[in-house]
Amino acid sequence: MENVHTTPKETGSNLWIGVGYFFAVLGGIIGIAIGYNYRSKKYDDQTRRHGLYIIIIGSIIMAIAKVMMTSR
């Protein structure tokens, strides 16, 4: 008989998730770093999903900013 003991996963701080979205919208590496941190397996599924969204938003905004800066 296996002893399957799972520890509950952490929920991310709403403040830091909000900060991550804020910096992602600004196109900063800080937002992407916060998103990357929240993608780790120690967090619950909802927090990990927020981390993915933060990474995607930050990456898209950074790509748009780079295109706009190089097209001048």
What pLDDT digit, counting tens, does each position of 28-70 carry?
899 999 999 999 889 999 999 999 999 999 999 999 999 999 9
pTM: 0.83
Residue type, 2: E
Give the chain's domain count. 1
- The helix or strand, by DSSP H or E, that contains position 64, with its residue range, turns out to be helix 45-70
Burial of 6 (0-12, 13-18, 19+ CB in 10 A): exposed
9 in a domain, yes or no? no
Domain extent, residue 43, equals 23-70
Q: Is residue 7 part of a domain?
A: no
Count of positions (residues) in the chain: 72
Q: Token match 């296996």: residue? A: 2
Domain assignment of residue 43, yes or no: yes
